Structures are given as C-alpha cells and as structure tokens.
C-alpha cells in the first residue's frame, strides 16, 4: 500500500469520525441500525455474492483468453 493510499484512508476515516460527531441522537441511532443490518447479512446471500463474483471473474478470463487465441489464429 502506498503512502498516498494510506493518507487518503486516514483522511477519509477522519472525515467520517467528524461527521459522526456532528450527528444528533436520532441520527446516530439510524446510522447504528444501518451498520448492524449491514454486518448481519444473510450468510447465504454473502456466499452467493462470492460465487457470483468468482464466476464473473472466470468468465472474463475465458473471454480474454478466447480473444487472444482468435487474434493469433
């Protein structure tokens, strides 16, 4: 990870913390509820997303290889 990327991440975290500090109680509760729902996703849904991502990667790879083979021959 480059120094620029690290500094960008630190800056983003700092901005998030500053924004969270500015929230009132009701807004903070909404953010917390959203984060909890995001973290408690259905494991089957997460597994499906991983499977789909891997399948798409393999399809892209196969198409790229096919294009390379067709351009040579």
Q: What local confidence, expressed as pLDDT, does residue 52 receive?
A: 92
Confidence tier at 3 by pLDDT (50, 70, 90): confident
What are 18-65's pLDDT values in tens digits? 888 888 889 888 888 888 887 787 878 878 889 999 999 999 999 888
Domain ranges in the chain are 1-40, 41-73
Q: How far apart are CA 54 and CA 8, in angstroms?
A: 29
| CA distances (Å), origin 8, targets 16, 28, 43, 55 | 12, 25, 31, 32
């Amino acid at each position: 990870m480059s120094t620029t990327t690290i500094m960008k991440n630190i800056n983003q975290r700092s901005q998030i913390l500053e924004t969270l500090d500015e929230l009132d109680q009701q807004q903070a509760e909404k953010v917390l509820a959203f984060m909890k729902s995001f973290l408690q996703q259905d494991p089957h849904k997460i597994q499906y997303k991983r499977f789909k991502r891997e399948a798409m990667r393999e399809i892209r790879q196969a198409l790229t290889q096919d294009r390379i083979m067709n351009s040579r021959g």
